[in-house]
Chains A and B, each alone.
Chain A
């Protein structure tokens, strides 16, 4: 059981910055994220793209923003449960909530902050009839253990980096790899495109373009896929079909926690402290909504700051808290580090 002061669901920019503001108030944070790395949309969707509206950064790459946030919060030693989705949130006792992930990891905290953005990133599934019946029975959207494909006949569909990269990787392991894409053009790193071209030239992989998987066959387990190639349909025998069309965010389990939901977001109490209809549960960043809401990083930072003040009062009802400037009082990390402004030097000139 993981115990902490503030449990943050979602390690996007908003969740990460909340660790800093909580740290200034000496509150410890643990973050859960379904992605294998922190950074949310900035890390998953557009790490190499510039952002121009972060105050005092005329331009910053989304990936660098995440890197800087991680550096800024490092003194407060946040801990993480990564690659796991929070699927249930219940009251454990009068003062604590219990949050459990899809892998069964349990977390206990007096304050839960949902910073889940647009939700968990789920694989995009092509609309092929019966696809779901074969999930885990020949159809997989994520490759967890490549060794599973040892000596197997694999079909990959997609036209981006992951389809290219996995084609290259699995060619070494699988009995055969067929890459199927609706166009002849691929959108990926140049060297991956060239590598796949070489594999095709050497006859080490099959490339079917422009083509599309339109149906699946098999009784209990997948036996073959039906492919439409230049207007003709043909069946290709296979052990595995891996559609790789990227990820898309879905609000997911958050919608079932008894929180008031409006327009696919969590309704909060009108930007006072971003508390939800359940006291002790807050929602900040892209995941919340209130009149005038803007889904922007800088707004998420502001919401994280106000939320922490309220969370402090909840955790320490008997303690007074006064706002302090970091310039004046410095930043004392839980790791013993201290950052502070250099003191002015006073000495008489004779």
Chain B
């Protein structure tokens, strides 16, 4: 049985004056999955997400979220989704617990706010004014506010930007926990590691268009199928031995040794096989498997941090 789609976006278009921020974007997010949107700065991630959240009015296409029209049925939708915006502020002098308490009063049912603050490492900041929080603490508070009513669908726009590694791991755990409880998560991120670890599927967006969409592993397989075996060998070695390895794409030998690149799931074992067949003495053997980062680099022509 196919999972139902929680979000369906078809031909979404959004313009700011003359600037086309999002153009003909289509994707769907399935119930119970973690879906990630990745792309360089200004690609249109936030814009797409905010159109889905019902915060921005779309200029074209169709968006359906939990079978509702996010713009027209905004009120009804907001009850069931949790939103963390990339950029947001609260009243300067609102206390952390007051914000959580206020948000809790807006929804029909909620989880324990104190426990949530504890999970997010904010329990000792309960009585602090919003304006006195550090950037990462504000970020964590906004995540708490997005989760206070235990929504069916959670939106996280750059969920770990500005967080220290410890907080980042805590939030990854929290997101996995949301998924385990059968909820759906739609996130954007600049961290390929984060996308790879968390997301069931990712879409790569550039210049307002989606240029690839699949599971992280499938994207790597499709766009960066080459693996590399890198080693140093003792004595004279005839490079021709390596040319015969099935799936081999290139053989480089330099001061630091050999770099063999090739395709196929068996490539590494084929390399090991060839080495032992030819009784080559090897020091220092390592392999390199491409990651989402490499896919991103290949698809967009630049690193995510550019």
A and B from one assembly? Answer: no
Residues of B bordering A, CB below 8 Å: none
Residues of A bordering B, CB below 8 Å: none
